[in-house]
């Protein structure tokens, strides 16, 4: 086990230095690899990493499904990806001559369209926090910032005070170290900026040992908000306004941002009807921090602007029916 742990540490270092992966993702992958090694030990395996063969990985995949309750293909695909990275590095670094994960099919993941909050649901959520209290002001700012920036929840939790730039009219939010270690900047116009500005002012009065923007307000330590804490904030106010718990999840805010951002553009000038290019796929892609435009298309697919384009025009029906 000491030998394997040394190899895991060296692989993690390679992921940090050579691949530029983020600590959270590397830590999650290392947890999966260690879980796999523990599972092997429970099966009576006591050899070095060179003794691990494809059959071991296949049996582990079965155990994940039948014994450990990992029935989601996406979960098992993610865990297999972590093993592939580890064994690929072992081969690359000369610790093995082969890769036991080669040839193992990735569980097929069903990709569904993102969901979005309706205008009424957003209105209710934004009206729910009591902003005359510090806790309510923080919670409203969390909800509005999630919607106005389309930030992933981990990106929101990692926002620092100095990531905000205030022009007096609007604010710019710099999202640092997003997925794929990419940075991007999002603009908040007057209404969203007003709430964020009020929270920023309040946050300056909180003496914390760090610069994170959103903090816990219980216990006196003012620790950074965590991903589960942000999810709990959304579910709390969703329950208050009558939105079902299963319909209130953080990524739904991101889906709402993507589709609403696209809807904020237009395909024709409202006066002269001339074609214009305003808020296109690339702009939404960059704003959401996507590598692949196909990912962005899933968010655009639920937008009203896109859905209007899926309708056969009445003039075509008139042509068919009346000649």
Q: Phi-psi bin for 184: left (phi > 0), alpha (psi -120 to 50), beta?
A: beta
pLDDT tens-digit readout, 114-143: 899 999 999 999 999 999 999 999 999 999
Residue whose tokens read 């709990």: 232
Which two structure tokens, joined as six digits, stand for 111? Answer: 């990709």
**Residue 280: predicted pLDDT:** 84
Torsion angles phi and psi, residue 205, rounded to 5: -85, 0
Q: How confident is the model at residue 112 (pLDDT cuts 50, 70, 90)?
A: confident
Q: What kind of architecture, by CATH, is found in domain 119-306?
A: Orthogonal Bundle (1.10)
Cβ burial of 54 (10 Å; 0-12, 13-18, 19+) is middle
Specify the domain boundaries for CATH 1.10.443.10 within the chain: 119-306
Residues of the chain with CATH 1.10.150: 2-92
- Rounded to two decimals, the pTM is 0.76
Domain 2-92 has CATH 3.30.420: no
- How many residues belong to the chain? 323
Asked if pLDDT for residue 72 goes beyond 70, the answer is yes
| Measured distance CA(21)–CA(85) in Å, rounded | 12
pLDDT digits (tens, 9 = 90+) for 217-244: 987 789 999 999 999 999 999 999 999 9
Average pLDDT, the chain: 91
pLDDT band at 270 (very low <50, low <70, confident <90, very high): low
Determine whether 321 is exposed, middle or buried from the number of CB atoms within 10 Å of its CB (0-12, 13-18, 19+).
exposed
Question: Which percentage of the chain shows pLDDT scores above 70?
Answer: 96
Residue found by looking up tokens 């600590």 in the block: 23
Q: Residue holding tokens 């964020």?
A: 196
| Between 228 and 71, residue with greater pLDDT | 228
What is the Cα 29 distance to its own chain's centre? Answer: 17
With H, G, I as helix, E, B as strand and everything else as coil, classify residue 184. strand
Q: Which residues have a Cβ under 8 Å from the Cβ of 46 and sit 6 or more positions away?
A: none
Q: Kind and range of the H or E element at 38?
A: helix 23-42
**Residue 118 three-state SS:** coil
């Amino acid at each position: 086990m000491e030998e394997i742990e040394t190899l895991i540490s060296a692989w993690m270092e390679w992921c940090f230095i050579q691949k530029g992966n983020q600590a959270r993702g590397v830590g999650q992958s290392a947890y999966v690899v260690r879980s796999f090694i523990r599972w092997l030990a429970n099966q009576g395996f006591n050899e070095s990493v060179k003794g691990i063969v494809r059959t071991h990985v296949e049996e582990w995949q079965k155990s994940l499904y039948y014994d450990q309750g990992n029935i989601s293909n996406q979960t098992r695909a993610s865990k297999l990806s972590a093993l592939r990275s580890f064994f690929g590095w072992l081969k690359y670094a000369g610790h093995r001559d082969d890769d036991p994960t080669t040839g193992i099919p990735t569980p097929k993941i069903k990709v569904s369209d993102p969901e979005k909050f309706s205008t009424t649901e957003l209105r209710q959520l934004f009206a729910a926090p009591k902003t005359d209290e510090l806790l309510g002001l923080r919670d409203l700012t969390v909800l509005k910032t999630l919607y106005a920036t389309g930030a992933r929840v981990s990106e929101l939790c990692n926002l620092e005070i100095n990531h905000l730039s205030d022009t007096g009219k609007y604010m710019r939010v710099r999202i640092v170290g997003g997925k794929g270690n990419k940075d991007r900047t999002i603009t908040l116009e007057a209404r969203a900026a007003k709430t964020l500005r009020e929270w920023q002012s309040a946050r300056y009065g909180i003496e914390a040992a760090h610069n994170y923007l959103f903090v816990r307000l219980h216990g006196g330590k003012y620790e950074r908000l965590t991903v589960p804490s942000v999810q709990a904030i959304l579910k709390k106010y969703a329950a208050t306004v009558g939105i079902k718990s299963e319909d209130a999840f953080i990524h739904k805010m991101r889906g709402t941002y993507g589709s609403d951002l696209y809807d904020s553009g237009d395909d024709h000038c409202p006066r002269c009807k001339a074609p214009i290019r305003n808020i296109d796929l690339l702009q939404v892609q960059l704003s959401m921090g996507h590598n692949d435009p196909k990912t962005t298309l899933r968010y655009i697919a639920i937008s009203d602007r896109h859905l209007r384009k899926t309708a056969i025009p009445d003039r075509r029906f008139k042509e068919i029916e009346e000649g």
